[in-house]
Amino acid sequence: MRRLGILKSRIESWNSLERSIDDLLDLAPLVDDEPELQEEIAQEQQALAARVSELELQLALNEPHDQSDAILVVHSGEGGVDAQDWASMLMRMYLRWAERHEFKADLLDTTPGEEAGIKNATIEVKGTNAYGFLRGEGGSHRLVRLSPFDAAHRRHTAFALVEVLPQIEHDTEIDLNPDDVRVDTYRSSGAGGQHVNKTSSAIRLTHLPTGIVVTCQNERSQLQNRETAWKILRARLLERKLQAEATERAQLKGNLMAAGFGSRIRSYVLHPYTQVTDHRTSVSVSDTQGVLDGNLDPFIDAYVQQQVTPEELPA
């Protein structure tokens, strides 16, 4: 039913666009008699061109899980306190991006850093094509700036790792045996109210065959944390499966570049100049503050379009 709703909405979008174009074509012959219509038609033409670009981008999202919700995980990497602060900046960036696109974003789990920032955070992003738009964000993000944590105010480089996982709608997509999962409970740490450090509400799941470990402690209820942890574990197992398939396809094509999160995908330079550069698409933006406030569309659009050749688009 969800897929049916998405397809109906997509068809109606194209039908609406076609009606708008027909209306604009009907107005065009009247320009000679009513010159004031010329500016109105030009504005409407620009708006229609933007709608066409948006719908073409949606057509490019044709991978099996592109229309799914997404789970986004941010980890601090090399760089000490700067890396933990950088991870918190990325967390905020993705929350702001979701807000801009009217997606529902929930912070499922966070681990605060000792001095500043966070060690990691897990965000659930709900909305049509959430995973399709965000899947290109997986990888290592590099920050270059004058460190606010350095007394000498020297330039530092920090790294953070982003994982993007597709939400699973059907358990049949993966083979998950509950007997293969060890469940541990422990007391939550960090800010969280009067229940913190008093009840064992935090959950740790360990998938024994793969060694994948998932923790969740944000909710007061152990039951809520348990449900969230299982949701994240299923998503991690599905992403592992998708990565294995992608690696196999790359080997068959002769492309031996590793598919995964290990490569640096984007650099955010705040000093000595300001520029954000995506190393896969070569897209650069000088408005670094705008990017950190959630304006990721130039990077996301370029990556999605780069992944699809014209012959792969639906007819």
Q: What is the pLDDT of residue 210?
A: 93
Bigger pLDDT: 33 or 157? 157
Average pLDDT, the chain: 85
Q: Which of 112, 46, 109, 124 is nearest to 84 (CA)?
A: 112
User: For 62, left (φ over 0), alpha (ψ -120 to 50), or beta?
Assistant: alpha
pLDDT at 2 over 80: no
pLDDT at 162 over 70: yes
Q: What is the pLDDT of residue 260?
A: 38
The residues with which 300 forms a beta bridge, in sequence order, are none
131-152 pLDDT per residue, tens: 999 999 999 999 999 999 998 8
Q: CA quadruple 27, 31, 36, 42: dihedral positive or negative?
A: positive
Sequence letter at residue 286: S
- As a whole number of angstroms, the distance between CA 41 and CA 47 comes to 10
* Inter-residue contact 146 to 153 (CB < 8 Å): yes
